[in-house]
Structure 1
Amino acid sequence: MNYQEALKFIENSHKFGMRLGLENSYKLLELLGNPQDKLKFVHVAGTNGKGSVCSFISNSLKEQGYKVGLYTSPYLETFTERIRLNGNNISEEDVARIITIMKEKIEQMAAEGHPYPTEFEIETAMAFYYYCEQQADYVVLEVGLGGRYDATNVIKSPLASVIVSLSLDHIGVLGDTLGKIAYEKAGIIKENSIAVVYKQKKEAEEVIKDICKEKNTKYIEVDFEDLETKKSDIYSQIFDCTVLGERFENMEITLIGDHQVNNAVLALTVLKTLRDERNIEISNEAIKRAFLNTKWPGRIEKIKDHPMFIIDGAHNEDGAKSLSKALQKHFSGKKMTLLIGMLKDKDIDSVLEVLLDKFDKVITTTPNSDRAISCNELKEKIEKYMPNVIAIPKIEDAVKYTLKNAKDDDVIISAGSLYMIGHVRQLVK
C-alpha cells in the first residue's frame, strides 16, 4: 500500500461514523501488541487551548533532549501533522507501512465479528504503534473528542492528566451543560494519579474535584493570581508568574492573545509537576527556549501583511471571546473584514454574537466537510446582526474576493472551522 492508498483506507473507515466506547480500540491495539502500554504519556483534554498547551509541553521536553511524540487533531494542511516526533511529521512512507500492517489486523477483527474501527480509532492506534517503534521517551497525547470514551483513553496510567479550559462544545455528543461536559472530559483522570487543571467555572470545577477524590488522584489547580503580563503585541508576549511556589520571570511566547499566556502558565504548571512529582529532569532554560520557539498554526496566526491577514480556529463561544479580546486590543480603529465558515454542530449563534460587532463586512463560505453549514444559511443567520454580508460557496473564490476588496491597511480575519482555516492558510501562504 502506498501513502495515497493508506489515506484512502483511513478515509473509507469514515463511513462507519463515530462511535463512543473503547472496546474496539482495545481489540485493535491488542492485535498490534499493545504498543500504548510501553509508552509514557501526558494526556490532555478540554475545549480550548489543547493544541497550544500540548505544544508548549512537548517542545520543553524536546529542548531538554528527550525523544517526544506529539499527537493532535484535526490537522490544518496535511494529515501527517497529527503524528509528530521531535517536531517532525511522521513520514508518508511510515504511514503507508504501518497502515499496511494494520489493515491485516482490521480484517482479522472484522472476520472475528468485531465492529470495523472508526477513522479516529485507526489513526490513534497508528500513532501508538509508531511512537512505540520509534522508542519515544514521552508522548504528549491530545484527546480527540470528550475524554471518557475517546480512543486515546485506552492508556493505563499517564504521568499527568491535564484539563484545559472548558466550555460548551459538541453539545449533541457530550451533553448540554458545563457539568456534563466536565464529566466527559475528566474521564481521562486515572486512579492514584495526578490531574493538572485550568481554573474552571464552579459547575465544572466541582465535577472534576469529585472525580479526583473518587479516584484518589492529586488535584492541582493552575494559579493565575500572581500573573503579570509585561508586554503584549502582535509579535510576542512577556510575562512573570509564580507556579507551585517557584517564580518564573520574563517568559516570552510568540502566540497572540491573553488566553495564550494562560495556556503557557498551565503548561508551566504541568512541567513543574513532572519535575517535582515524577522526577523528570527539565531545566528552566529548556522551558524558556521552548516557549519562545513554540508556534501553533491556526490560532490567531498572522499569515500576511498588507492587508494583514489573520487566521483563527475560533469555533465556540470561549474561542470567539479570546479572538474578540485580541482584536479589540491590537486592531481597534482598523477596518476589519471577517471571512467565516462553520460546522453545523458548533454553537454558531454564540460565536456570531461575540464576534460580529467588530467587523465592517462579512464573507461567508462553506468548509469542505459533510458537517458544514452552507454559506447561504450562515449568511441568513448573520443578517440578523448586520447588513453587509456576502456568501461565496468555494473557499478559493472567497479568499480571492476578500483579498481583492481589501485595502493595504485593512485587517482580514478568517475564523470558524479549523477545516476551513487550514485551507485558507495554504491559499494565502
Structure 2
Amino acid sequence: MNYGQALEYIHGALKFGIKLGLDNIQELLELMDNPHKKLKYVHVAGTNGKGSTVAFISSILKESGYRVGIYTSPYIERFTERIRINSDEISKEDLARITQYVKEKVELMALRGGNHPTEFEIVTAIAFQYFYEKGCDIVVLEVGLGGRFDSTNIIDAPLAAVITTISYDHMARLGNTLEKIAFEKAGIIKYGTDVVLYPQAPEADRVFEEVCRERDSRLHRLFFESVNIKDFSIDGQEFDYGEFKSLKIRLLGEHQVKNAVVALEAALILAQKGYSISEDSIRKGLSDAKWPGRLELLKKEPIFLIDGAHNAEGAQTLSGFLKTYFPHKKIVFIIGILKDKDYMAMIEECAPLAEYIIAVSPNSDRALPAKALAQSLECYCKNVLISDTIVNAVAKSLDITPKDGLICAFGSLYYIGEVRNMLLSLE
C-alpha cells in the first residue's frame, strides 16, 4: 500500500458514517495488541479552543525535552498534519505501512462478524500505533466529537483531562442544552483524574463538578481575573498570569491568552507528577506555539487573516477580535459555511462589520451553496458578491481591498486550507 492508496482506504470508510461508541475501536485495538495502553496522555475535549490548547501544551512539553505525540482533527492542508511527533508530521511511508497493518486487522474483524470501523476509528488506531512504535513519552490527544463515546476515550485515565470552552455545536449528537453537551465532554474524566477546566456557564460548570465528585477526580478551576494582557498587536500578545509575568504568545485574540493559561495549568499538573518542566520551558513553549488557520495572519498589505470559526461562539470570538484589533478598518469578508452549522448566528455576529462580503461554497457535500449564503447575507451588508471558486474569491478580495485594508476569510476549515495555500504561494 502506498500513500495514495492509504488515503483512499481511510476516506473510503466515510461511507460507514459517524458512530459514537467504543466497541469498534476496542475490538480493533485488541487485535493490534492494544498500543494505546502503552502510552501516557493529556486528553483535551471542548467545543472551541481544543486545537490551540493542544498546540500550547505540546509546545511546552517539546521544549521540556519530551517526545510528544500530537493527534488533532481536522487538517488544514495535508492529512498528515493530524498525526505528529513534536513538529514533524507522520511520513507518507509510515502512514501507508501502518494503514496496511490496520486494514488487515479490520478485515479480521469482518471475518469475525464485527462492524466495520468508521474513518475516525481507523485514523485513531493508526495514530496510537504510530506513537507507540516511535516511543513517545507522552501524547496530547484531541477529542474528535463529544468525549464520552469518542474513539479517543478508549484510553485509560490520562495524566490530565483538559476541558476547553463549551458551547452549542453538533447538537444532533451531543444534545441541545449546555448540560447535555457538558455531560458528553465530561466523559473523558476517568476515576482519579486531574481535570483542568476552562471557566464555563454555570449550568455546564455544575455538570463537571458533579462528574468529578462521582469519579473522585481533582477539579482544577481557572480564574481569568488573574490574567492581565499588557500588550497586543498583529504580531502577538504579552500578558501576566499570577506569578508568571510577561508571558508571550504569537497566537492572536484574548481567547488565545485564556487557552495558553489552560495549557500552562496542565503543564504545572504534569510537573507535580514528576515531569521535568521548568518556567523557561513554559515561556518558550508558549511563545513558540503555532496553530495554523486560527486567526492566522498571512499578509500585512493588505492585512489578510484566516480563521476557522465555524459555529456561533467562534464567530462571536472573531467579531470581538476584529472590533478590538481593527476598530476602524473597512473589512472584506470571504465566507464559506457548512449547511448543518448555525450559520445565521454566525452571519448576525460578523456580517454587520463588513464593507464587502464574498460568498463561496466549501468543497464538501455538506456545504451551504454560495448563492443561498449570499441571500442570507444581503440584509446585513449591501455589497455581497458570489464567487464560483475559492481562487477567484481570494483574487477578487485582493482586487477590491486597499493596501491599508483588511481581508478576513472565515468559516469551514474545508476551504480555509485552500485559502491559506493560495496566499502563501503568492508570498
- TM-score band (shorter)? over 0.9
* Offset at residue 399 of structure 1 (A): 1.5
What is the aligned counterpart of 2:386 among 383, 387, 391? 391
Pairwise CA distance, 1:279: 2.0
C-alpha displacement of 1:405: 2.1
Structure 2 alignment gaps of length 5 or more = none
Residues 172 and 345 in structure 1, CA contact (< 8 A), matched pair in contact too: no
170-179 vs 74-83, greater mean Cα deviation: 170-179
Match of 1:127 in 2: 127
1:266 aligned residue: 262
Shift of 1:227: 1.1
**Divergent runs of 4+, >3 A:** none
Task: Tell which deviates more after alignment, 221-230 or 125-134.
Answer: 221-230
CA contact (8 A) 2:120 2:151 kept: yes
Q: Does 1:38 pair with 2:38?
A: yes
CA–CA separation in structure 1 for the residues paired with 2:132 and 2:101: 15
Q: 1:364 & 1:170 partners in 2: Cα distance?
A: 23
Distance of 1:62 and 1:297 partners within structure 2 = 18
CA distance in 1, matches of 2:229, 2:390: 37
Secondary structure at 1:231 match in 2: strand
- TM normalised by structure 1 equals 0.97
Give the drift of 1:94.
Answer: 0.3
Distance 2:217 2:136 in 1: 26
Partner-residue secondary structure (3-state), 1:42 = strand
Q: What is the letter of the counterpart of residue 3 of structure 1?
A: Y
Distance 2:404 2:226 in 1: 37
Identify the residue that residue 252 of structure 2 maps to in structure 1: 256
Question: What are the within-5 Å matches in structure 2 for residues 4-15 of structure 1?
Answer: 4-15=4-15
- CA drift of 1:387 comes to 2.5
2 CA distance for matches of 1:138 and 1:380?
48
Q: Distance in 2 between matches of 1:65 and 1:93?
A: 26
> Would the aligned equivalents of 1:307 and 1:408 in 2 still touch at CA under 8 Å?
yes
- Name the structure 2 match of 1:101: 101
- Superimposed CA distance per residue, residues 261-299 of structure 1 (whole angstroms, 9 cap, x where no aligned partner): 1111111111111112x2221001011111111111111
- Equivalent AA in structure 2 for residue 174 of structure 1: L
| Equivalent in 343, 348, 355 of residue 348 of structure 1 | 343
Match of 2:328 among 323, 326, 333: 333
- Using the TM superposition, give the Cα deviation of residue 381 of structure 1 relative to its aligned residue in structure 2, in angstroms: 1.2
Answering whether residue 323 of structure 2 is matched by residue 323 of structure 1, we say no
SS of 1:58's partner is helix
Q: Does the 8 Å contact 2:354/2:381 carry over to 1? A: no
**Residue 128 of structure 1: CA displacement?**
0.2
Task: Describe the SS at the equivalent of 2:309.
Answer: coil
* 1:213-228 paired onto structure 2 within 5 Å: 213-228=213-228
The amino acid that maps onto 1:408 is: K
SS at match of 2:286: helix
Q: Which amino acid aligns with 1:105?
A: K
Q: Is the CA contact 1:374–1:393 (under 8 Å) kept in the aligned structure 2?
A: no
Structure 2 CA distance for aligned equivalents of residues 404 and 173 of structure 1 = 42
- How many Å apart are 1:136 and its aligned residue? 0.2
- After the TM superposition, which residues 20-419 of structure 1 pair with which residues of structure 2 at under 5 Å, given as runs? 20-242=20-242, 247-276=243-272, 278-419=273-414
SS in 1 for 2:231: strand
The DSSP-based 3-state class of the residue aligned with 1:360 is strand
Structure 1 gap segments, 5+ residues each:
none
Distance 2:175 2:117 in 1: 24
AA aligned to 1:132 is Y
Amino acid at match of 2:132: C
The one-letter code matched in structure 2 to 1:376 is: K
1:184-240: per-residue Cα shift (whole Å, max 9, x none)? Answer: 111111011111100000010001111111111111111212111111111111111
C-alpha separation between the residues in 2 aligned to 1:316 and 1:310?
18
Q: Deviation at 1:31? A: 0.8
CA deviation vs aligned residue, 1:369-410 (integer Å, no higher than 9, x gap): 111111111111112322221121321222222222222111
Q: Distance between the aligned counterparts of 2:86 and 2:376, measured in 1?
A: 43
CA contact under 8 A between 2:224 and 2:258: conserved in structure 1?
yes
Tell me which amino acid in the other structure corresponds to 1:21: G
How far apart are the structure 1 equivalents of 2:421 and 2:224? 36
Cα separation, 1, equivalents of 2:398 and 2:177: 40
Residue 26 of structure 2 aligns to a residue in which SS? helix
CA contact (8 A) 1:362 1:388 kept: yes
Partner secondary structure for residue 226 of structure 2: coil
- Count residues with an aligned counterpart: 424
CA distance in structure 2 between the partners assigned to 1:229 and 1:397 by the alignment: 38
Partner secondary structure for residue 225 of structure 2: coil
Secondary structure at the residue paired with 2:161? strand
Aligned mates of 2:113, 2:401 — CA distance in 1:
57
- State the one-letter code of the partner of 2:298: I
SS of structure 2 residue aligned to 1:240: strand
Give the distance between the partners of 1:15 and 1:324, measured in 2 at CA.
Answer: 36
CA distance in 1, matches of 2:401, 2:194: 50
- CA drift at 1:152: 0.4
Whole-angstrom distance in 1 between the partners of 2:185 and 2:339: 22
CA distance in structure 1 between the partners assigned to 2:317 and 2:292 by the alignment: 16
C-alpha distance in 2 between matches for 1:53 and 1:426:
24
SS in 2 for 1:209: helix
| 2:281 partner amino acid | A
